[in-house]
Amino acid sequence: MSRDLGALDSWHADWSGLRVGVIGLGVTGFSVADTLTELGAEVLVVAPEGESERARLVPVIGAELLVDPLGDVVPAGLIDFAPEVLVVSPGFTPRHGVVRWAAESGVPVWGDIELAWRVRDKHGDPAEWILVTGTNGKTSTTELTASMIAAAGLRPAPCGNIGVPVLDAVRDPAGFDVFVVELSSHQLHYLGSSPSAIAVTPLASVCLNLADDHLEWHGGAAAYRDAKALVYRNTRVACVYNRADAATERMVAEADVVEGARAIGFGLDVPGPSGMGLVDGILVDRAFLDDRRTSALEITTLAELDRLGLAAPHIVANILAASALARAAGVPVQAIAQALETFRLDPHRIELVADADGVRWVDDSKATNPHAAHASLSAYPSVVWVLGGLLKGVELDELIARHRSRLKGAVVIGIERDGILRAFADNAPGVPVAEVIGADGVDVMAEAVSIASGLAAPGDVVLLAPSAASMDQFRDYADRGERFADAVRSRTRKDGDDRAADDL
């Protein structure tokens, strides 16, 4: 007799003996397995290797490990285990053989977010949830929102795709007032995708923007858009959208939300009632006040954000989105301004590495797709652009054409260079373009920096905004950014030593 999964809507429900297959053993997969064994479930973890530290801990937490390459053939051990639920790590596409087998066999497929929502009451009354997604800006907006909530004296948990599994936050014995959950399109796809799903009802939600990304995972742009749109489903208080991105506004208009939820737009223009925006260089709230038709609340100014290093247009947009989410949670504008005073962007997000001989070197390695690279390029009038990597099925023609007037030159790295070189030839034939041929990340970045140095003149910015993923030549985007920064510092130090020697 199959278990009534609808009854498993609390940490304190009877999870004992539930057979759960956990697919994948990254940070998310391990948090799922650890949670389920603590709940008393019978857990089989399927992962492609058994020598990692997490793999060695699987039997320690009371689960069983099945080592399998996880190709198209479904492991016999998983079939024999006969799981009642399959919890899939977000890296596995819905077309993966194991996921297809589950669907064909009638086995419900959950992601870690659904499990976390079901058991969110471990320590009493559950925290409110705020959901953050978008093609770009998710992490910065999640961190901004959490810092604003903390400045109001509440305890937030920034978690999810940001790097801290939501289940780890759920099980933290100290407890939290608000979960600010960053969600990838992969996580959203699996949120509520099974017939046994229960409704996640966030306090507030936002899709910051929408541009082509992860098309190979989703199988196309429409599926990617549909996954992102799920962030608004069942929102109770505020559906925050980007006035400059019509796709996000349509998502809100089409969303099935809780009665009374409001649509709150943000943008770099003058806001109407129920909006957040800019008026004469002042960031204002015209959404969360009684007299919003004729009044506005001042949050901060562009001049103040410039002093804090937070004045790039896409960062200002993220601040407005985060302010809307925080205001939905009851945070006063004074606390938002206080939070901004101490907020610092994470490394590799428009980070100034060096300013030497009138040339600024900026690391935005986190710009892993064209939409993010567009935001970076838009912040500077004269750029030598370092780009390239794994393009994830997208093309750069539109991006290059849009920014060709600001490009002093380009240096192309990565293994998928041919398409980028063609895009420059077709859309910006007057821009000097060099390619770096090589496989080793250290040598590639040293050569890229050397070439960029020769293209740049005083007043230019050498900008690492790859518009692509990093795993072809680097461990991750952080490794790519660190190697860029190391190469820049080495280059500028050498140039300084050479000038000093010339003066002797």
Q: What does the pLDDT read at residue 501?
A: 40
CATH superfamily label, 351-496: Mur ligase, C-terminal domain (3.90.190.20)
Q: What does the pLDDT read at residue 193?
A: 76
Encode pLDDT of 343-358 as tens digits. 998 889 889 999 999 9
Which residues, including other chains, have CB under 8 Å from residue 104's CB and lie 6 or more apart?
none
In whole angstroms, give the CA distance from residue 133 to residue 182.
Answer: 6
- pLDDT band with cut points at 50, 70 and 90 for residue 502: very low
Q: What does the pLDDT read at residue 452?
A: 98
| DSSP run (H or E) holding 422 | helix 417-427
Tokens at 131, concatenated? 């959901």
Q: Of 283, 284, 286, whose CA–CA distance to 305 is shortest?
A: 283
- Residue 35 assigned as binding residue: no
- pLDDT band with cut points at 50, 70 and 90 for residue 203: very high
Q: CB–CB of 385/411 below 8 Å? A: yes
Residue 100 has pLDDT above 50, yes or no: yes
In whole angstroms, give the CA distance from residue 217 to residue 196.
Answer: 24
Q: What does the pLDDT read at residue 504?
A: 43
Mean pLDDT (whole number) for 462-472: 95
Q: Of 45, 82, 77, 80, whose CA–CA distance to 62 is shortest?
A: 45
Least confident of 44-58, 115-129, 201-215: 201-215
CATH superfamily label, 117-342: Mur-like, catalytic domain (3.40.1190.10)
- Residue 138 assigned as binding residue: yes
- Residue 134 assigned as binding residue: yes
- Residue 235 assigned as binding residue: no
Average model confidence (pLDDT) across the chain: 94
- Residue 136 assigned as binding residue: yes
Q: What does the pLDDT read at residue 179?
A: 99
CATH architecture of 15-110: 3-Layer(aba) Sandwich (3.40)
Q: What does the pLDDT read at residue 394?
A: 86
List, edge to edge, every strand of the sheet that includes 461-464. 351-356, 359-363, 461-464, 383-387, 407-412, 433-435
Opening angle at CA 315, ends 391 and 393, nearest 5: 10
| Percent share of the chain, pLDDT over 90 | 86
Residue 496 has pLDDT above 60, yes or no: no
Q: Of 357, 389, 358, whose CA–CA distance to 373 is shortest?
A: 389
Mean pLDDT (whole number) for 465-482: 94
In whole angstroms, give the CA distance from residue 45 to residue 250.
Answer: 39
The domain ranges of the chain are 15-110, 117-342, 351-496
In whole angstroms, give the CA distance from residue 75 to residue 459.
Answer: 59
Tokens at 29, concatenated? 């997969």
Q: Of 423, 29, 401, 395, whose CA–CA distance to 215 is shortest?
A: 395
- Residue 145 assigned as binding residue: no
Encode pLDDT of 297-317 as tens digits. 999 999 999 999 899 999 999
Q: What are phi and psi of 229, to 5 degrees?
A: -65, -25
DSSP 237-253: SEEEEETT-HHHHHHHH
Q: What does the pLDDT read at residue 439?
A: 66
- Residue 139 assigned as binding residue: yes
Q: Which long-range contacts (CB under 8 A, 24 or more apart) does 425-430 make?
A: 426/397, 427/397, 427/400, 427/401, 428/400, 428/401, 428/404, 430/404
Encode pLDDT of 37-64 as tens digits. 999 999 999 999 999 999 999 999 999 9
